[in-house]
Amino acid sequence: MLLTCEQALRVRNVLDDWLPARIRDSKVVMYPLLRLVFGRRFRVFADFKQRDSGCQQTSSRTSMARQRACRRSRAART
């Protein structure tokens, strides 16, 4: 499925600016969209955060040491 630049910007606008993050990042919303765009390979894109070497997005309760360790491991991979 190919989108023009204008269509892609409209989709991005709706997802990023109109939907709250909790809804936008939920599997209920993203899985159908990714399935529509990527077909059978949608799980590769849907589950990338869980496969990122244990460095998932950090919450405000995460310690500073863990955040630094995560940044160092990411820098070492590049």
Note the pLDDT tens digit of each residue in 8-49: 888 888 888 888 888 888 888 888 888 888 888 888 888 776
Over residues 51-71, the pLDDT tens digits come to 665 555 544 445 666 767 777
Report, in angstroms and rounded to the nearest whole number, the Rg of the chain calculated over CA atoms.
Answer: 16
Task: List the structure tokens of 36.
Answer: 């529509």
pTM exceeds 0.75 for this model: no
65 by DSSP, 3-state: which?
Answer: helix
Q: What DSSP designation does 18 have?
A: I
**In contact, 19 and 29? CB cutoff 8 Å:** yes
